[in-house]
Amino acid sequence: MSKYDSVTGMTDMTGMNNMTFPASQIAQIINGKIEGDAGIAVSSFGKIEEAQPGQLSFLANPKYEEYLYTTRASVIIINESFQLKQPVSATLIRVADAYTAFATLLTTYQEIMEQQLSGIQQPSYVAKTASYGNNVFIGAFAYLGENVKVGNNSKIFPNAYIGDGVTIGDNSIIHPGVKIYHDCKIGNKVTIHAGTVIGSDGFGFAPQADGSFKKVPQIGNVVIEDNVEIGANSTIDRATIGSTLIKGGAKLDNLIQVAHNVEIGNSTVIAAQTGVSGSTRIGNGVMIGGQAGIVGHIQVGDGARINAQSGVSKSVEPGKAVTGSPAYDYTARRLPELEKRVKELETLIKQLMGEKV
């Protein structure tokens, strides 16, 4: 039996693989305009060059335009400004931004999939002092320690470890094998992917006179604000004192190391294999390429750009773009180089023309 959801406008069929929704309902979700059969239904997604009947696809990149006229997809999302060069067989849904609309639809689909998960699987361990909200899912072999709090609609997948005193907000997803150490705070609509460790000890050791190192206890925590996503097998260390802070809307890729007492600003994105050393402050809206290395105790200003494989050894001013190792501001450095080259060319031309230099 199917159940119509008046909020999403989709038909939720029993079973994950039996969901179907007509073009008219898709258009409602993404605020699109239909050209073609509004009643045609799709049950899955496909790339435009490979899609089959019963699948939905989208066209956002002009490089794939040729497939618009040959695809077998039943429904295609395209930009409202796109001009057809020949007829298409699929039903079209025109929107302001096809890529964003497709992302919205995938998000809605994913949320419906996740809503089907609820309850506590066994075997799992939930401490007597732990509490959780409505429509929560706790997978098999998960561990929830003392005084853990989990908000409404959050999902904790199998083999996750949630330490004592951890709080997790509403609509968050903790994927398999995630480890969240004691007293860390996870906000609403946070996604943490498989194998990531939140709140392990920061790398703090005091050198001794005999050449050995004495461990400095790490008694702080990690705070992850709302709408953050953290990729698989990343590590975010707890603060020595205070909090390591990941602010709202930040997106971290797989295999990222964030050291103790780091602060990462709102809507900052960091690509895979980047390492951020202790007590560094990264501003809002920063973009950091893969395999970048950032030393400790520096500032990276709002809107800065750090190219892949850059070694950042000093603070970066807001809005600057740096590259290389050690990293330099390539937007500023390139102008003197171009000026020098122009002067050399002018001198060469004068010599060839027999003019006095």
Beta carbons of 48 and 68 less than 8 angstroms apart = yes
- Kindly report the backbone phi and psi dihedral angles of residue 235, in degrees, each rounded to the nearest multiple of 5, phi listed first: -135, 130
Beta carbons of 10 and 21 less than 8 angstroms apart = yes
In this prediction, residue 356 has a pLDDT band, given cuts at 50, 70 and 90, of low
Helix, coil or strand: residue 57? strand
In this prediction, residue 299 has a pLDDT band, given cuts at 50, 70 and 90, of very high
Please enumerate in sequence order all residues whose Cβ is within 8 A of that of 45, keeping only pairs 6 or more positions apart, or say none.
Answer: 51, 55, 56, 57, 106, 109
pLDDT tens per residue across span 35-51: 999 999 999 999 999 99
Quick check: 264 pLDDT over 70? Answer: yes
pLDDT tens per residue across span 114-150: 777 889 999 999 999 999 999 999 999 999 999 999 9
In this prediction, residue 3 has a pLDDT band, given cuts at 50, 70 and 90, of very low
CA of 84: how far to CAs of 2, 27, 46, in Å?
37, 19, 21
Lowest pLDDT segment from 12-16, 208-212, 316-320, 345-349: 12-16
In this prediction, residue 11 has a pLDDT band, given cuts at 50, 70 and 90, of very low
Across the chain, mean pLDDT equals: 91
Quick check: 174 pLDDT over 90? Answer: yes
Cα torsion 347, 352, 355, 357 to 10°: value is 30
End-to-end CA distance of the chain: 89
Where are the chain's structural domains? 3-115, 125-186, 196-326
Give the pLDDT score at 334.
59
Lowest pLDDT segment from 1-10, 50-59, 65-74, 239-248: 1-10
175, 182, 193, 260: the catalytic one is 260
pTM: 0.81
Beta carbons of 106 and 73 less than 8 angstroms apart = no
pLDDT tens per residue across span 92-104: 999 999 999 999 9
Give the pLDDT score at 335.
59
Give the pLDDT score at 103.
93
Instruction: Confirm whether 260 is a catalytic residue.
Output: yes
d(Cα 166, Cα 198) in Å, to the nearest integer? 11
Q: Which of residues 106 and 242 earns the better pLDDT score?
A: 242
Quick check: 10 pLDDT over 90? Answer: no
Q: What is the CATH number of domain 3-115?
A: 3.40.1390.10
With CA atoms as reference, report the closest residue to 163 among 129, 203, 191: 129
Give the pLDDT score at 346.
81
Quick check: 14 pLDDT over 60? Answer: no
Superfamily of domain 125-186: Hexapeptide repeat proteins (2.160.10.10)
Quick check: 16 pLDDT over 80? Answer: no
d(Cα 289, Cα 253) in Å, to the nearest integer? 10
Give the pLDDT score at 18.
56
What is the pLDDT averaged over residues 141-165?
97
Indicate if 196-326 has the same CATH topology as 125-186: yes
Return the CA Rg of the chain: 26
The domain 196-326 having CATH identifier 2.40.110.20: the answer here is no
Percent of the chain exceeding pLDDT 70 equals: 92
